[in-house]
Chains A and B, each alone.
Chain A
């Protein structure tokens, strides 16, 4: 850096000693020279609540591909398989694994060079069923019945699935590839749906009033294709047909998926550009506009320019004209220096009405596309993570989504994805600062950058609460930032599992939106550079780690970019009981696309009832004597059967209704009463028992 400063000072000569004596005011700041951001001058960054932990067991794990050091808490690796040979090339993104989708005993794993289908009938031993070669960045999959959807965004992706990139636009396939997987070992292309901006990710959406068609929201942040290559793609300007400022929607006739095509472009970004300060000013957001808190924005130090530092060719003509304008002669005065500074500021940084005002000069500079959209059809909502903004959408009419609210947050670099709580009263947005290929979990990377932010949803409006970030400092060699995850279906709690690339997997609880807490994790040491590269000057990251971690039918499945697929079980701890884990394992889905969030419904079962009581034990939500009594009543009911069990549970539920009135955690007591009542009904031969088979 020093060299730049010297260079810019070249040519410094005397301009006018008296003027410079005034103008050469260089403020000395208390902050000056302190707290180099990376401590590379030997000055460590001050530790604070926004700093990652340096004492966590995850810190300092030794590197290795298959033999990396590991650290885990309250979860264990139960199944693993390396990539199939075809994709088994470490490093870079060319063969990177991407997202997951689930159907029955199959896990569909995307790859930048195709996709894989794993048979996980035995989750401890994933078995590769199909490997399909077809370079497709980034290859995010979704599955619906016998259809598999794959996102294609890279300008090098080809219709014929061959390598080598695209030299002729007619060969390009940018959009969503649709495969028929009715023969799981032989997927067959049924449609290549091309679109204007490609598909970085996509989201399947069902219309409750239209069972014959499936809809696909396409998200992508790439540039717009040339209209000569794909007709109808309009890039610049405010044209109503612009491919920007809209979500493209594909309609898939389920009886004729080969006829799938883009049918609509929902302009959910309308009006956002002219809204002025799109970025909110949430509490504690120290980077917010105006710098609330300390010295901020306009309220900072009075501005100065050290004219002596500037090349005389810049300064002399201005000073001369200032002196001349006042009809003066001789040496410039202090007032002349001030006037000179004002001229320079106006000339270079614009005046009040000049350039640099609030309105974007580039009409396309505003947010105009989403990175990812999570739909929650049962709540009629979608969370759009749209580059610089988080959007809440009403999707009750799937082809006409309506924007309900939007939020900005200057701690967020890139709004990446969204996960709703099961009651749709909360949503977790993630910030993929650095895009996933950079190390953003180092000790110097603040915990409110590149992590999650928890929002509440009230009457269609979003309010930001706490941030959560995987808290253990990672190395410079580990790409790490918040990435994809899903809910873990613990009744009565909001728990999410999430991949942090080489920062590992994290399971955290955001029931209390102001105090999210970690309850389990798994982490490996960095992937080393190749041995043959040991003498390379390469600075170091071999891209890897967990693209995502998702709960599916009792286990956590995680897509490791370089190492393959991993399967985990949660283990009981002070943060999570065996009953809660058992209750989560009762939730069954026939298929699961994490961006198409299903409503979790627990079957009537004892682990669900016991989960609530465990939680009341944990938060002291009922008097201890009463809780002990309830454990005895549950044991009695479990021991009984048929009508006796049903009667015991009904009695317990009725009493719980009364307990709720005076309880410190009334809502949980009511939930327990409802669960007991459901189980009483099921125990007497009700429909839920038949459905759940319990």
Chain B
């Protein structure tokens, strides 16, 4: 665990709640894993999910997206790149396999333990999480430019975000997400992406209200 070893100089010094200190000192809590299987599946799966979003958002520059969609894409990419790194770190800190579809990690990582993973080749079809674009949808987005790209992007990214919200819900339904960092992250995903869906719906309505 990331928290070990504790920077402790005098255990239980200046602790008013002595009983807590003896019975449930954090050191004891640390001996057991602080996660369950659904947590790991969530983090590993969400890395693929985020990687596809980053890939989609990167296309704004090369596919003639409008200024508003380009700016939105920049925010999505910055946000989710950082979150991929956060998820990878969470997994690595627990000596768990960290998928690395976009090649953020240095060489020789635990990522190689991931089935279907080969560095540099993002075969996401093997890791279809809820809301992720099918190969046909990705092909269509990649083949489109200008206003058509905007429209596909917004439609597909709303679908993508809704999938992420479903993943968060499934995590909590499975009793996962209790570890503090994971809880905060999953809630951030839920909050940020809910708000972004609303923004995208606003932008999309400009195309479909004719």
Contacts and interface: CB of A to CB of B under 8 A. Distances in A.
Q: Do A and B come from one complex?
A: yes
A444 B78 contact: yes
A421 B79 CA distance: 31
B91 to A, nearest CB: 10
B142 A290 contact: no
Given A162-B24, A286-B67, A297-B206, A92 B3 contact: yes
Contacts of A33: 61-62
A112 B34 CA distance: 15
Interface in A112-136: 112-114, 128-135
Contacts, number: 390
Interface string B87-107: 011001100001000101110
A312 to B, nearest CB: 11
A270 to B, nearest CB: 16
Contacts of B169: 223
Given A27-B64, A350-B155, A133 B20 contact: yes
Task: Point out which of A185, A314, A449, A538 has the most chain B C-beta atoms below 10 A from its C-beta.
Answer: A538
A84 B20 CA distance: 14
B79 to A, nearest CB: 6
A631 B64 CA distance: 63
Given A3-B122, A314-B139, A365-B194, A295 B180 contact: no
Interface in A4-40: 4-5, 7-9, 25-27, 29, 31-38
A476 B15 CA distance: 36
Contact of B155 (A278, A290, A298, A355): A355
A438 B50 CA distance: 15
Contact of B3 (A1, A25, A90): A90
B180 A435 contact: no
A351 B155 CA distance: 11
Given A413-B79, A449-B75, A537 B17 contact: no
B147 interface: yes
Nearest to A353: B208
B21 A86 contact: yes
A83 B150 CA distance: 50
Contacts of A296: 66-68
A397 interface: no
A132 B19 CA distance: 10
Interface in B4-63: 4-17, 20-21, 23-26, 28-29, 32, 34, 55, 58, 61-62
A537 B109 CA distance: 6
A3 B207 contact: no
A302 interface: yes
B188 A434 contact: yes
Interface in A386-438: 387-388, 410, 413-414, 433-438
B209 A154 contact: no
A281 B151 CA distance: 20
A360 B131 CA distance: 16
Contacts of A223: 168-169, 172, 190
A311 B162 CA distance: 26
Interface of A is mostly: loop
B110 to A, nearest CB: 7
Given A92-B181, A163-B24, A297 B207 contact: yes
A477 to B, nearest CB: 11
Contact of B11 (A85, A365, A543): A85
Contacts of A128: 14
A8 B138 contact: yes
A42 interface: no
Contacts of A301: 64, 66, 145-147
B181 A287 contact: no
A350 B208 CA distance: 8
Contact of B61 (A25, A27, A31): A31
Contact of B183 (A154, A278, A300, A314): A154
Interface string A28-70: 0101111111100000000000000000000000000100000
Nearest to B62: A32
B121 interface: yes
A339 to B, nearest CB: 14
Contact of A156 (B14, B178, B195): B178
Contacts of B26: 86, 89, 94-95, 113, 133, 163
Interface string A285-326: 011111101111111111111111111001000000000000
B17 A131 contact: yes
29 contacts: A8-B138, A9-B139, A37-B78, A86-B12, A86-B25, A90-B7, A91-B2, A132-B20, A162-B23, A163-B24, A277-B202, A287-B75, A290-B206, A294-B67, A297-B66, A301-B64, A305-B148, A311-B139, A348-B137, A350-B155, A352-B210, A358-B202, A387-B195, A388-B195, A410-B72, A414-B192, A436-B184, A538-B89, A539-B88
Interface of B: 1-17, 20-21, 23-26, 28-29, 32, 34, 55, 58, 61-62, 64-72, 74-75, 77-79, 81-83, 85-86, 88-89, 92-93, 98, 102, 104-106, 108-110, 120-124, 135-140, 142-152, 154-156, 158, 162, 165, 168-169, 172, 175, 177-181, 183-185, 187-188, 190-192, 194-199, 201-210
Interface of A: 1, 3-5, 7-9, 25-27, 29, 31-38, 65, 84-86, 88-96, 112-114, 128-135, 137-138, 153-156, 161-167, 185-187, 200, 221-223, 276-279, 286-291, 293-311, 314, 341, 344-345, 348-352, 354-362, 365-367, 371, 387-388, 410, 413-414, 433-440, 444-445, 449, 530, 532, 536-543
Q: Top 3 A-B pairs ranked by shortest CB distance? A: A303-B148, A156-B178, A301-B146
Given A132-B17, A298-B207, A371-B191, 5 more contacts: A156-B180, A161-B20, A163-B26, A279-B198, A541-B85
